[in-house]
Amino acid sequence: MRHGPTWFNVTSLVIGFSFLYLPIVLLVIFSFNESRLVTVWGGFSTKWYAELFRNQQLLDAFWVTIKVAFMSASVATVLGTMAALVLARSGRFTGRSLFSGMIFAPLVMPEVILGLSLLLLFVALDQARGFWTVMLAHTTFAMCYVAVVVQSRLVGFDRSMEEAAEDLGCPPAKTFFLITLPIILPGVIAGWMLAFTLSLDDLVIASFTTGPGATTLPMKIYSQVRLGVTPEINAVCTILVGIVTIGVIAASLVTKRQQLQKERDERAAYAEPS
């Protein structure tokens, strides 16, 4: 019995996944609702999407958000990969436990605390708040997520190739770019994507650290949600969900293909007589 899926397991999976997906599915369905009343179905329509593209404020907020997310994800990926290398490779050094503490703490730290503390830092530094402060704030918490993702890739990693390269006199930086980076690349890409979506999502930290002219999309959505559920917001949300879903599925397909390619290459390499 245990070797097949039992009715109990199947039921719990079905109920569990419906719980996870039903609200999002309903939200997507009602973004195509003709009626302004979001809970009464008035026929299929895409008019709320058309409305969106005429809403300049929303479009501006969208671009700010994309720019912040792109830049903060890129910087966070570089810093987070460095941090992962330090965690996985650098052995013991003074302040190591403080370092790993600073990597893991932001993962669970309430956002209100992160947001408030960063805002007060920017005020203390007499820094004008806006685009750049949001970007710095997002980089800081996103790099910790990148570090954790990349580190998990580095832990299950055969070091013999790196050691071979170093024994043959390859400088460490070159070894990293020629050998280590290609191997951990799926982790680095996953880290970048995670950082990008975290930044795309964030309301609380952005609200604290933003200034005039840098309203992000979540802030815009939040201020409208407080006034009530509207089909336009459903449409914005559907577009965001669509972007993220396509991105994640594409990334997982790419990883899978790379994995298959690698396996094929390895098999070919073993098959060849040396």
Give the span between the Cα atoms of 65 and 67, in whole angstroms. Answer: 5
Interface characters, 159-198, with another protein (x: CB under 8 A): x---x--------xx-------------------xx--x-
Give the span between the Cα atoms of 64 and 117, in whole angstroms. Answer: 23
State yes or no: residue 136 binds another protein (CB under 8 A).
Answer: yes
**Residue 172 or 182 with smaller CB distance to another protein:** 172
- In order of 18, 163, 226, 267, the CA distances from 112 in angstroms are 31, 44, 19, 51
**Residue 44 or 270 with smaller CB distance to another protein:** 44
Footprint of another protein on 53-92 (CB under 8 A)? 79-80, 82-83, 85-86, 89-91
C-alpha closest to that of 184 among 160, 162, 151, 139:
151
Asked if 228 and 38 count as a contact pair (C-beta separation under 8 A), the reply is no
State yes or no: residue 143 binds another protein (CB under 8 A).
Answer: yes
**Residue 64 or 143 with smaller CB distance to another protein:** 143
**Single residue of 93, 268, 273, 274 touching another protein by CB under 8 A:** 93
State yes or no: residue 127 binds another protein (CB under 8 A).
Answer: no
Longest dimension (CA), the chain: 72
Residue 60 CB, nearest approach to another protein (Å): 18
State yes or no: residue 221 binds another protein (CB under 8 A).
Answer: yes
Footprint of another protein on 229-268 (CB under 8 A)? 229, 233, 237, 240-241, 244-245, 247-248, 252
**Burial class (CB within 10 angstroms; exposed 0-12, middle 13-18, buried 19+) of 185:** middle
Selected range binding another protein among 45-53, 55-63, 201-209, 261-269, rule: CB under 8 A: 201-209
Residue 82 CB, nearest approach to another protein (Å): 5
User: What is the total count of residues that contact another protein (CB under 8 A)?
Assistant: 90
C-alpha closest to that of 82 among 106, 105, 101, 99:
99
Footprint of another protein on 3-32 (CB under 8 A)? 4-6, 8-10, 12-13, 15-17, 19-21, 23-24, 26-27, 30
State yes or no: residue 52 binds another protein (CB under 8 A).
Answer: no
**Single residue of 58, 106, 145, 180 touching another protein by CB under 8 A:** 106
Residue 53 CB, nearest approach to another protein (Å): 19
Selected range binding another protein among 44-52, 54-62, 108-116, 265-273, rule: CB under 8 A: 108-116
Half-sphere CA count of 195, side-chain side, radius 13 A: 37
